[in-house]
Structure 1
Amino acid sequence: MTEYFIPTAAAEAELVEKRSRFIGHVWPVDSEEEARGWIEAMKKKYYDARHNCWCYRIKEGGVERYSDDGEPQGTAGQPMLNVFQREEVTNVCCVVTRYFGGVLLGAGGLVRAYTQSAKDALDAAGISVVRRWVEVLVPCPYSFLERVRQEVEAQDGVVGDVEYAAEVTVHALLPEGKVDDFTSRLTELTAGGLAPIVAGEQFRGVPRKNYE
């Protein structure tokens, strides 16, 4: 099964280290062109900053680029990139802007500050897994709603909308290969009383926290 991780959304985080102000931004991107567009936008927005260091990773072609933008070599762009490599996040662009506070941080201090800024921005953005999901509908009695939720989550699935009428209909996304196990489990629990309905497939990102 093919799956990969991306930022859930664009996000910003700020860090102050010995009076230097670090502003980290993360965006989900699909191409180098889009990444470079964000980098140029930040350079224009923070034109008065001492440094606008950046990195990006693009899944297609396995592209990885970074820049220290005037900081000592190896103290900014590469440590930022390492954050996304460790988290296995791709299709991501990160820019960390630094306003110098008058106190030198040293190479180790710079590495720590740029690493933390990138990590804080990624934490604010969240991480989604992109994979093929099977959409299923599960009509069930109200009394069985919570159990259906539990069984969806047990199969690494995600519960979506719930329709309330004479009975409840749960909309859920299940990973490929888990539908048969899910169906068998519901059949076992209800002596054949519940039958999930496959409604289609989706290839999309879902926040990782929703199914961990």
Structure 2
Amino acid sequence: MKKDYPIPASFLERETEIKKSRFIARVAPVSDRDEVKTWLEKAHQDHPDARHICWAYQIGRPGSAAEAAMNDDGEPSGTAGKPILNVIQHKDMGDVLVMVIRYFGGIKLGAGGLVRAYAGAAESVLSEVGRVHHKPLTAVDVSMGFADEQPLRHWCELNAAELESIDYGARVTARVLVPEDQVDAFSGFCESHKLDYRFET
């Protein structure tokens, strides 16, 4: 049984100042690369005069993320994106994007100072953001008679499954999002009610 994992509960922003440079850290929940792009575009719109907007994200389960990436946005290689990603990975949080917006204050921090500054900014926002638990869901297509719809709805309510869509034709067809730890139980339900079902691959 796969354990669910925490994701950020909401968007949050925190600001720190180090040697006259402003570091504005933002955290946001993301489920795919398009959402990452949208948040980054918003950061650039909000802060068009910032010297750097560095970021890192990981999507999926902490420790075995489906996707992760980082960007130094003009800072010396390895001094911004990587420290941000390291902090994300230590927080045991999935589906998370952290952006750090820097306004240069005129005093150079050096490579070690930059690493500490970006890691510290990421830490400040990640330690304060709330967490919600995200349960991985499996999509199942179900075909059934009209009399079977109500038992299916009832099963979904009891087992935290989502009825994503339902169509009425000669038969009723539904798309159900089933928590991963309930997949076997859902298969048993379909078989006992003689429903046709197919897991999306």
Q: TM-score range by the shorter chain?
A: 0.5 to 0.7
Distance (Å, rounded) in 1 between the aligned partners of 2:132 and 2:18: 30
Distance (Å, rounded) in 1 between the aligned partners of 2:51 and 2:122: 17
User: Which consecutive aligned stretches of 4+ in structure 1 deviate over 6 angstroms post-superposition?
Assistant: none
Distance (Å, rounded) in 1 between the aligned partners of 2:20 and 2:73: 20
Distance (Å, rounded) in 1 between the aligned partners of 2:28 and 2:107: 30
Query: In structure 2, what is the equivalent of residue 126 of structure 1?
Result: 130
Distance (Å, rounded) in 1 between the aligned partners of 2:67 and 2:37: 13
Query: In structure 1, what is the equivalent of residue 5 of structure 2?
Result: 4
2:27 partner amino acid: V
Query: In structure 1, what is the equivalent of residue 88 of structure 2?
Result: 84
Structure 1 position 203, deviation (Å): 6.8
Structure 1 position 30, deviation (Å): 1.1
* Change in CA separation of 1:29 and 1:109 when aligned onto 2, cut-off 3 Å: same
Distance (Å, rounded) in 2 between the aligned partners of 1:23 and 1:126: 18
Query: In structure 2, what is the equivalent of residue 96 of structure 1?
Result: 100
Structure 1 position 90, deviation (Å): 1.2
Report how many residues are paired. 138
Contact 1:13 1:124 (C-alpha < 8 Å) held by counterparts: no
* TM-score normalised over the length of structure 1: 0.61
Query: In structure 1, what is the equivalent of residue 16 of structure 2?
Result: 15
Structure 1 position 65, deviation (Å): 0.7
Query: In structure 1, what is the equivalent of residue 60 of structure 2?
Result: 59
Structure 1 position 36, deviation (Å): 1.1
* Change in CA separation of 1:29 and 1:203 when aligned onto 2, cut-off 3 Å: farther
Distance (Å, rounded) in 1 between the aligned partners of 2:135 and 2:50: 39
Aligned partner of residue 38 in structure 1, secondary structure: helix
Query: In structure 2, what is the equivalent of residue 200 of structure 1?
Result: 158
Structure 1 position 129, deviation (Å): 2.6
Deviations 1:112-164 (A, max 9, x none): 110111111112222233348xxxxxxxxxxxxxxxxxxxxxxxxxxxxxxxx
* TM-score normalised over the length of structure 2: 0.64
Contact 2:91 2:126 (C-alpha < 8 Å) held by counterparts: no
Gap regions ≥5 residues in structure 2: 137-156, 163-201
Query: In structure 1, what is the equivalent of residue 78 of structure 2?
Result: 74
Distance (Å, rounded) in 2 between the aligned partners of 1:67 and 1:26: 15
Give the aligned CA root-mean-square deviation in angstroms. Answer: 2.0
Distance (Å, rounded) in 1 between the aligned partners of 2:159 and 2:9: 20
Deviations 1:68-100 (A, max 9, x none): 000000000010011111112111111100000
Structure 1 position 201, deviation (Å): 3.0
Distance (Å, rounded) in 2 between the aligned partners of 1:126 and 1:84: 14
Q: Where do 1:31-50 residues align within 5 Å?
A: 31-50=32-51
Gap regions ≥5 residues in structure 1: 133-198, 205-212
Deviations 1:22-70 (A, max 9, x none): 0000001111110111011101211101000011111187110110000
1:95 partner amino acid: M
Query: In structure 2, what is the equivalent of residue 184 of structure 1?
Result: none
2:160 partner amino acid: Q
